Structure 1
């Protein structure tokens, strides 16, 4: 049973190199999308796994539908190649917490399950704000400082306020769900998502953070809902360990090693070259 690892990359290539090393196995193929803003892509090589670096690169902007486009580019490239039972979407600053033998055995034992994390809190207000309103200048959500950026922020906020005052909602008939964007899916599920590629572009254009919504929504409103591994626990559902600190994603350090290795999760994020030591510890542990 062959697996495809789909990796979104925009920085910290030292961690990417260690990730590739960790999943370099003849049972895997690796697909990498480098953000178009990356001026010089690193020379990525494998000894055992197949490796494809996507040549058509998307300018990925945080919060924008371009993140969804990049994910679809990876889904499409791997699905066209074919021959994979599972597809794992990772970032370039993720690491596996288990050996490839363990991971492949786990998916054989749970064959047919979809590993998608679903957020458990009340999402009504968040969904209304993110995907039921029109957002101006979505490619500039993170830009700050300049007069142009400030002007766009003012116009965007004003337009959202106008929609709230008038009671305007778009996408009113869709039962949206949300969770982490990092998933492990069967070939059948990837094929299903690809059928809705154009519709996803239409629905999520000029929305905010659709990458945390589109997979969860499509699968929830389909027969794949019956095959989701765990709909009650977001982290367990996707088998990812993602820490948070002060409302930001936590950077794992050497102090977290025991916590990471004691987890049932198969993957974790995020890691940085500032704390490369914990990555070495993980590699040594899973190589035993």
Structure 2
């Protein structure tokens, strides 16, 4: 019986997180949680840690800032904890706003049939100059909540513009091909261990980088043997790349609603995000009911 590791990064909506833990609770699964270091003790206390079948382990907590290097740090924290625990057939990175849209029997059957394939999504055949600038330029204030702090956002804009005028290019001496896509993945044990082992050499390229979590794993894969082991070989922004149902609006994942249920029901994909009980709790309950009665 193949064992899977579910890696979950969460910081809010503890009821939804507990619902996610409930549908992952299965003898074939171990669960690893990264909880944002800014999250309160009350939140931690409310997490269901004693499931019926799946052990729940916590990784070292990082204070995560949107778009910052801390996002990579949190992913490496929870992945590293899982890799250090035992060997798993697959490692699935989810957020606390995700749910599976297939049963565990269906998910395990799918990965048994695709054993050895890597589920990493790529946006396009060649990264655009705009997206490549994320690693060419130093974003010194990316850990300072530049989306909501006018002082830091202004300072970052000035510094990045100055670097471009001066021709700063942090990767000009690198032989790496940089790529990007969704940061949510399902990967084999071999790739998971290579990510941990190679991270020290690659991390300098991604520090002070904007939204580096969308480039980190893709860059590792595209420069390695795992490129030929991708389930979906075309770099075309397909959801099949990582088997995640995500609807994007204005460069951000849209909250799913009850209007998405029929699409979710008909989808061949395995996981979906993002769910938000403040936007629509009905879709969450309907997905959970479908999984319970499948």
Common fold by TM > 0.5 = yes
What is the CA–CA distance in structure 2 between the aligned matches of 1:83 and 1:73, rounded to whole Å?
Answer: 16
Q: CA deviation at 1:178?
A: 0.4
Alignment partner, residue 29 of structure 1: 30
What is the CA–CA distance in structure 1 between the aligned matches of 2:250 and 2:141, rounded to whole Å?
Answer: 27
Q: CA deviation at 1:121?
A: 6.6
Structure 1 counterpart of 2:54, from 49, 57, 72: 49
Alignment partner, residue 179 of structure 2: 177
Alignment partner, residue 286 of structure 1: 291
After superposition, residues 263-282 of structure 1 pair within 5 angstroms as 263-274=267-278, 275-282=280-287
Alignment partner, residue 167 of structure 1: 167
Q: CA deviation at 1:43?
A: 2.6
Alignment partner, residue 140 of structure 1: 144
Q: CA deviation at 1:47?
A: 1.1
1:59 and 2:59 are equivalent in the alignment: no
Q: CA deviation at 1:122?
A: 5.5
Native 8 Å contact 1:60 1:70 kept in 2: yes
Bigger shift: 85-94 or 35-44? 35-44
Native 8 Å contact 1:175 1:221 kept in 2: yes
Alignment partner, residue 77 of structure 2: 73
Please give the secondary structure, in 1, of the residue aligned with 2:139.
coil
Q: CA deviation at 1:31?
A: 0.3
Alignment partner, residue 227 of structure 2: 225
Native 8 Å contact 2:119 2:231 kept in 1: yes
Structure 2 counterpart of 1:130, from 134, 137, 153: 134
Q: CA deviation at 1:95?
A: 0.4
Native 8 Å contact 1:15 1:276 kept in 2: no
Deviations 1:177-200 (A, max 9, x none): 000000000000001101122223
Gaps of 5+ in 2: none
Gaps of 5+ in 1: none
What is the CA–CA distance in structure 2 between the aligned matches of 1:246 and 1:28, rounded to whole Å?
Answer: 35
After superposition, residues 76-91 of structure 1 pair within 5 angstroms as 76-91=80-95
Native 8 Å contact 1:5 1:31 kept in 2: yes
Alignment partner, residue 15 of structure 1: 16
Please give the secondary structure, in 2, of the residue aligned with 1:139.
coil
What is the CA–CA distance in structure 1 between the aligned matches of 2:219 and 2:250, rounded to whole Å?
Answer: 28
Structure 1 counterpart of 2:191, from 189, 192, 198: 189
Q: TM-score, normalised by structure 1?
A: 0.94
What is the CA–CA distance in structure 1 between the aligned matches of 2:146 and 2:230, rounded to whole Å?
Answer: 33
Q: CA deviation at 1:261?
A: 1.2
Aligned length: 283
Native 8 Å contact 1:127 1:176 kept in 2: no
Deviations 1:101-129 (A, max 9, x none): 00000000000000000002763222332
What is the CA–CA distance in structure 1 between the aligned matches of 2:146 and 2:32, rounded to whole Å?
Answer: 27
Please give the secondary structure, in 2, of the residue aligned with 1:196.
helix
Superposition RMSD in Å:
1.5
What is the CA–CA distance in structure 2 between the aligned matches of 1:121 and 1:219, rounded to whole Å?
Answer: 14
What is the CA–CA distance in structure 1 between the aligned matches of 2:147 and 2:220, rounded to whole Å?
Answer: 30
Structure 1 counterpart of 2:246, from 242, 245, 256: 242
What is the CA–CA distance in structure 2 between the aligned matches of 1:80 and 1:189, rounded to whole Å?
Answer: 14
What is the CA–CA distance in structure 2 between the aligned matches of 1:222 and 1:83, rounded to whole Å?
Answer: 21
What is the CA–CA distance in structure 1 between the aligned matches of 2:200 and 2:254, rounded to whole Å?
Answer: 34
Native 8 Å contact 2:117 2:231 kept in 1: yes
Bigger shift: 233-242 or 264-273? 233-242
Native 8 Å contact 1:113 1:229 kept in 2: yes
